[in-house]
Structure 1
Amino acid sequence: MAFGVYSLIICCVAVLVIYLWRSSQTFRFYTKYCYYYANMQLLAFLLVLPSLLTPGDPVNIRYFQVLANYTFKLIGITVEKRNTEELENLNKPAILLVNHQDTVDIISLMTVTPYRATFLAKKQILYWGYFGLTAWLNGFVFIDRLNPEKARGTMKRVVNIIQERKIKLWIFPEGTRNMKGDMLPFKKGAFHLAIQAQVPIYPLVLSSYRYFLDPDKKIFNKGKVIASCLPPFETKDLTSEDVNGLLDKVRSAMQAEFKKISMEMEERAEIAGNSLLVE
């Protein structure tokens, strides 16, 4: 009797979930984000033990990368890679720049992240449960953005890490998430790092998400992202006096590419029926 009642309840819940998924864009929006964050925490939990074998080594991100590229497929974001071969096979230290739109940027980045690459991240991530622990075990470089003096000290340490451990460091030069259809002004930190460490800058540009993701309207449909890697910018023989010029060149190139590939996605959306859905 009890089994029959439980079975009926499960069936009713399943029918309700299917109905809401098909009929409510708000339900789909929150369900996808819940799955995304739950999946991040689950993967982080599963990777704690393997990462303890080599704590703090960026090579550990490989474990997360392999699992994430499979489990994130359920969210419905596909990535079209362009000119990423050199980036994916990069075997020298470098600064990797990418525009920052949303937390789901990780989905695209995991498809192109090279061996021994890690992230420059805000210190608060350390307190994000298992993800924070695994981030530390994966060699994330944390900065305290609320304490500029400490942040400057961290930057000096990061230069040594890049040079001595030959790592590649992902940095979001805008410093915060932005889905306004344009890029925010870039912070100078990444460019100071690249020049002080005398390593090249590899810019990666992700096309706009706004054709399938709109947090204000609670829309999160299936979609495609173009991940386009630009030619590297060398920093050899540059000094701190060249920071502003280098920043302007890199931002102009990334901005132009962002507009180009975002316009392409907009045209595809119009062909698909002028909706947010981009197959």
Structure 2
Amino acid sequence: MIVVYIIIILIAVLVLYIVFLAICAVVIDPKREYETDSRFYRFLINSAALCILKIVRIQVQTSGLEKIPNDTKPVFVCNHRSNFDPIITWYILRKWEPAFISKDANFKIPFYGRFIRKCCFMPIDRENPRKALKTINKAAELVKRSEVAIAVYPEGTRSKNGELQPFHNSVFKIAQKAGAPIVVLSISGTEAIHKNYPFHASHVFLDVIDVLPADEIQDMKTAAIGERVYASIDHRLQTIGK
């Protein structure tokens, strides 16, 4: 009977939690792009990310975090291999309050899609240059105001084969317009999570491999920035054999 009571309590807690999330989500305008980071909703997505890491048994090993500037909001750029990438990254880098630029479909996910809006995450339309530029300008303004850091995947989509894909170099304009440094990250191991769960833990590696100072990139061509970032990430991934 004790086991039955425990199960009933757990189910009740889960139902209450879902109702709580639904209430928190319903007050958010799903079409609005917010310009102020909500500490409450950021707490929700960070705590949810921690729960996912624990439940899915994701063990994250980091290196180079001490290289990230603490006196400014940077622009984070990283390779992209799995849907778990942003969840892991925003939790590990929660100190810098990163807001991701992401595809529109992610903002339609129940609860999650609305919560990330309140944390200044932004959809981008890569098929419409005018709209994409508007997003880039807004992201730069948020960084300039130190409202949030910005995180982007220059590849624009997940790599299906693990190989680094060509970059959309326009995202580097965010750092130039904001006068912010670019923090170059590499992530590996996330592509195996769906294979490992539920029988095995997954080991993920998130490394800070380079920091490009704001004054150094200010007058560079975005293509040149892209080449340097691409080479740094590719070399790191080749070195660790992931």
CA RMSD between the two structures: 3.4
What TM-score does the superposition give when structure 2 sets the normalisation length? 0.76
The residue number in structure 1 matching 2:10 is none
What TM-score does the superposition give when structure 1 sets the normalisation length? 0.67
Q: In the aligned structure 1, how far is the partner of 2:35 from the partner of 2:75?
A: 22
1:91-129 CA distance string (max 9 Å, x none) = 412110111111111342112333332111222322212
**Counterpart AA for 1:95:** V
The residue number in structure 1 matching 2:24 is 48
The residue number in structure 1 matching 2:102 is 121
Q: In the aligned structure 1, how far is the partner of 2:53 from the partner of 2:130?
A: 38
* Equivalent runs, 1:12-27 vs 2, <5 Å: none
CA change 1:163–1:44 in 2 (3 A) is farther
The residue number in structure 1 matching 2:84 is 104
CA change 1:47–1:200 in 2 (3 A) is farther
**Counterpart AA for 1:102:** S
**Counterpart AA for 2:137:** K
Q: In the aligned structure 2, how far is the partner of 1:198 from the partner of 1:170?
A: 15
Q: In the aligned structure 1, how far is the partner of 2:193 from the partner of 2:109?
A: 27
* Equivalent runs, 1:87-166 vs 2, <5 Å: 87=68, 90-109=70-89, 110-166=91-147
Aligned length: 222
Residues 99 and 150 in structure 2, CA contact (< 8 A), matched pair in contact too: yes
CA change 1:197–1:229 in 2 (3 A) is same
Secondary structure of the corresponding residue to residue 180 of structure 1: coil
Deviates more, 1:191-200 or 1:142-151: 142-151
Secondary structure of the corresponding residue to residue 94 of structure 2: coil
Post-superposition, which runs of at least 4 consecutive aligned residues in structure 1 deviate over 3 A? 41-44, 208-215, 218-221, 237-241
Identity percentage of aligned residues = 19
- 1:154 to partner: Cα distance: 2.1
Residues 207 and 262 in structure 1, CA contact (< 8 A), matched pair in contact too: no
Q: Which has the higher contact order (CA 8 A, sep 6+)?
A: 2
**Counterpart AA for 2:21:** F
Q: In the aligned structure 1, how far is the partner of 2:167 from the partner of 2:38?
A: 25
Q: 1:244 aligns with which of 223, 228, 236?
A: 223
Gap regions ≥5 residues in structure 1: 1-6, 11-37, 264-279
Q: In the aligned structure 2, how far is the partner of 1:102 from the partner of 1:138?
A: 21
Q: In the aligned structure 2, how far is the partner of 1:229 from the partner of 1:163?
A: 22
Secondary structure of the corresponding residue to residue 96 of structure 2: coil
1:212-269 CA distance string (max 9 Å, x none) = 6559xx9984220111112311231645652111111111011111122235xxxxxx
Q: In the aligned structure 2, how far is the partner of 1:192 from the partner of 1:224?
A: 33
**Counterpart AA for 1:146:** E
Task: From the CA coordinates, give the structure whose radius of gyration is larger.
Answer: 1
Q: In the aligned structure 2, how far is the partner of 1:201 from the partner of 1:67?
A: 27
